[in-house]
Amino acid sequence: MQQVFISVVNVLHSPRDIAQLRLWLEGLYAELREQYTDYEFVLVNNGNWTGDIDAVIRELPEALRQHVFLLNLSARVDRNNALLAALDRANGDYTVIFETAFAAHPQLLSAVFEKSRRENFDMVYLRAHERRMPVATKLLYRVFYFILRRYSGLKIDPRAHHSRVISRRALNSLLRLRENSHYIKANYAMVGYSNAFVEVEEPLTVEPDMRFGEQVRTALVAITSFTDFLRSVLFWIFMFSVLVAGVAIVNAIKVKFTNVDIFGDHQPVLSGWAFLVVMISSFFAITCLNLYIMSIYLSNIYAEIKNRPLYIIESVKRY
């Protein structure tokens, strides 16, 4: 038996989670009591299901119930924010986020913990073989992860489940990042530390109560919070505007003096036309330049307001 304190946390976000709760608790309890000296279950009631949850927990043995802590939120919030409530309450040397989707496989908890303890990884997560979801949603995720990898520098596994083990020091650093982005996987990557994964057959699926529009909004919030993608887009819009303005100005001057445009077609000369094209094209490029400069200032202000730590010390070594 290992001398370690394990905190197992989970968010009860839907009726499906409550339906799996008894199997989840009993399976994990049987796994934990045989291998670890101390453990706790921290559950977050992210909805008005207090009576349903109490009914499930009251039927459990007293030896199991004494390890269960239930946090009832006053109002429903995003699942990632509810998960932070559980992580704030976790007291263990290691904290394990274990989704109810794996209720029938409690041995996975020991698998991620053993990999973390034996190979000195601060985070070990469960990794799916595939994403099983509609084509439109799958395409959205591909674009989303491409933008994150290209413009944020964060190493985020697109097939990572939420379930993972987190060491105490990694969790302390994670809790310093009080993001409102509703995308906690980016926080895991931002914290850093050594990490690994355990492959599982359970595919990644879309939550039944999450609509496609909500997924798009969440993706946009995460992109604007963790990447400089929109600033890069404005830069290329500015470069394109300069190109268009340059072509329009050259074409206007050529028509004024030769009556032939850049495509070789004959064009009549109209009084004031060339001047008007030059002025409009110049102001178009200047407007795009101003938008790009403003985006730089707004990006810097946004980063300062978030007050993210400038660095995180993993360890200190003395000789």
Rounded Cα distance, 259 and 240, in Å: 26
In sequence order, what are the beta bridge partners of 282?
Answer: none
- pLDDT tens for each residue of 38-77: 989 998 888 777 788 888 888 888 888 888 888 888 878 8
**Quick one: pLDDT at residue 208?**
65
Task: Please choose, from the candidates 119, 86, 91, 111, the residue with its C-alpha nearest in 3D space to the C-alpha of residue 28.
Answer: 111
Task: Please choose, from the candidates 310, 319, 315, 93, the residue with its C-alpha nearest in 3D space to the C-alpha of residue 194.
Answer: 315
Query: Can you spell out the DSSP letters for 155-193?
Result: ---TTEEEEEEEEHHHHHHHTT----SS-HHHHHHHH--
Positions of the chain with pLDDT under 70: 179-182, 208-210, 269-270, 273-274, 300, 302-319
**Quick one: pLDDT at residue 311?**
46
* The token pair that represents 141 in the structure block: 């995720």
- pLDDT tens for each residue of 289-306: 887 788 777 776 766 666
In the three-class reduction of DSSP (H, G, I as helix; E, B as strand; rest coil), residue 6 is classed as: strand
- pLDDT tens for each residue of 211-244: 777 777 777 777 777 777 877 888 888 888 888 8
Alpha-helical runs (H) found in the chain: 15-19, 21-35, 50-58, 62-65, 79-89, 107-119, 135-152, 168-174, 184-191, 212-226, 229-258, 273-306
Rounded Cα distance, 180 and 91, in Å: 23
Rounded Cα distance, 175 and 220, in Å: 23
Answer whether 0.85 is exceeded by the pTM.
no
